[in-house]
Amino acid sequence: MLGKKEKQVPLDPQNIPRHIAIVMDGNGRWAQKRGLPRKAGHSAGSETFHKAATILAELGVEHLTVYAFSTENWKRPPDEVQEIMNLLERYLKKSVRELTENNIQLDFWGDLTPFSPKLRQLIAQTDEISKQCTGMHVHICLNYGGRDEILRGARALAQDCLAGKLLPEQIDEKALEARMDCRGAPAPDLLIRPGGELRISNFLLWECAYSEFYFTDTLWPDFDETELRRAVAAYQGRQRRFGGLK
Ligand code: FPP
């Protein structure tokens, strides 16, 4: 699946994005095109995620954030939701060790409270194993919504005010961010959305204020090393001004 290195899209090693965020979209269509059940698309998507994490770590990316299950994905048919949960459990049982052997640190963004005790236990174990690692951070977003992340942060601010730990006039961007899932991570430099849709779908609404966006029709399970390098090359061609002048 991976292209040969010698034929690869050239990249400037001095301008690798520190943080890449990905909406892993198109799994269902990938499966349908092959006459397979949607779950086969999610399964192929999880393999693509695994390969992408390894490739991006080698490129020198420091943070990778992936949208695996949104606060809105509960609206899908219960059997598809269950299949994604089963896939996550299988993934956390089998594949996490391989990522951590590559020194990749995994953590989870989102409200994890609605998940089964078994999945939450696997998540806690993964967090524990990851503590030994010092390499790229991978943030897996589960029951994650950008609005929900901001709301949970706002609630934590209100609680700290009520407890007398914080004055309302002390609330600034830093204070809110310190209570959000993204605390400690730099803002994404590049947001990639495969699958042909041109929207953000409630992903990282706070964090993406000045991210560069890259959209492509390629479906996520087909998003190989060449596609990743194309996205990074597009980023390297952008001029970032953050609202200022050149
Ligand atoms: C969007 O494609 C994908 C999802 C809602 C699920 C993503 C989950 C995985 C890739 C697997 C688990 C991840 C990890 C980190 C192990 P879609 O189903 O909306 O595709 P469609 O638009 O073609 O229907």
Per-residue pLDDT of 110-146, as tens digits, reads: 999 999 999 999 999 999 989 889 999 999 999 999 9
Q: What is the pLDDT of residue 18?
A: 98
Q: What is the pLDDT of residue 100?
A: 83
Q: What is the pLDDT of residue 96?
A: 82
pLDDT > 80? residue 6: no
Residue at token pair 């430099």: 189
Average pLDDT over residues 141-158: 98
pTM, full prediction: 0.95
Tell me which of 2-6, 16-20, 28-32 is least confident: 2-6
3-state class of 108 per DSSP? strand
C-alpha count within 13 angstroms, C-beta hemisphere, residue 122 = 17
Q: What is the pLDDT of residue 98?
A: 84
Annotated catalytic residue 73: yes
pLDDT > 50? residue 2: no
pLDDT in tens, 215-233: 999 999 999 999 999 999 9
Task: Identify which of 231, 215, 71 has the alpha carbon closest to the alpha carbon of residue 146.
Answer: 71
Buried b (16+ CB within 10 A) or exposed e, 89-105: bebbeeebeebbeeebb
Q: What is the pLDDT of residue 1?
A: 47
Average pLDDT over residues 171-194: 98
Average pLDDT over residues 60-64: 98
Please state, for a pLDDT cut of 70, what percent of the chain lies above it: 98
Nearest CA to ligand 1 atom 12: 46
Q: Which residues pair with 214 in a beta bridge?
A: 192
Mean pLDDT of the chain: 95
Token couple for 89:
């459990």
Of 34, 36, 42, which is best to mutate to test ligand 1, by the most ligand atoms within 8 angstroms of its C-beta? 42
Nearest CA to ligand 1 atom 2: 25
Contact 220, 87 (CB under 8 A): no
From residue 120, alpha-carbon distances to 70, 179, 233 in Å are 16, 21, 37
Backbone angles phi, psi at 197, to 5 degrees: -85, 140
3-state class of 66 per DSSP? strand
Q: What is the pLDDT of residue 246?
A: 78
Nearest CA to ligand 1 atom 8: 68
- Amino acid sitting at position 79: D
d(CA 104, CA 138): 7
Q: Ligand 1 site: residues with CB under 6 angstroms?
A: 24-29, 42, 45-46, 49, 66, 68, 73, 84, 87-88, 91, 140, 195
State the distance from the centre of ligand 1 to the C-alpha of 83, rounded, in angstroms: 11
Token couple for 150:
């901001």
19 backbone φψ class: left, alpha, beta (φ>0; ψ -120 to 50):
beta
Angle 101-54-74 from CA coordinates, rounded to 5°: 100
Task: Identify which of 182, 200, 211 has the alpha carbon closest to the alpha carbon of residue 109.
Answer: 182
pLDDT > 80? residue 78: yes
Please state, for a pLDDT cut of 90, what percent of the chain lies above it: 91
Average pLDDT over residues 102-117: 95
Token couple for 96:
């996490």
Q: What is the pLDDT of residue 3?
A: 47
From residue 170, alpha-carbon distances to 150, 153, 154, 160 in Å are 17, 15, 13, 11
- Amino acid sitting at position 39: K
State the distance from the centre of ligand 1 to the C-alpha of 86, rounded, in angstroms: 13
pLDDT > 80? residue 66: yes
Of 24, 80, 97, 99, which is best to mutate to test ligand 1, by the most ligand atoms within 8 angstroms of its C-beta? 24
Token couple for 216:
């492509």
Nearest CA to ligand 1 atom 3: 25
d(CA 177, CA 180): 5
Catalytic residue among 12, 73, 160, 172: 73
Annotated catalytic residue 148: no
Contact 166, 160 (CB under 8 A): yes
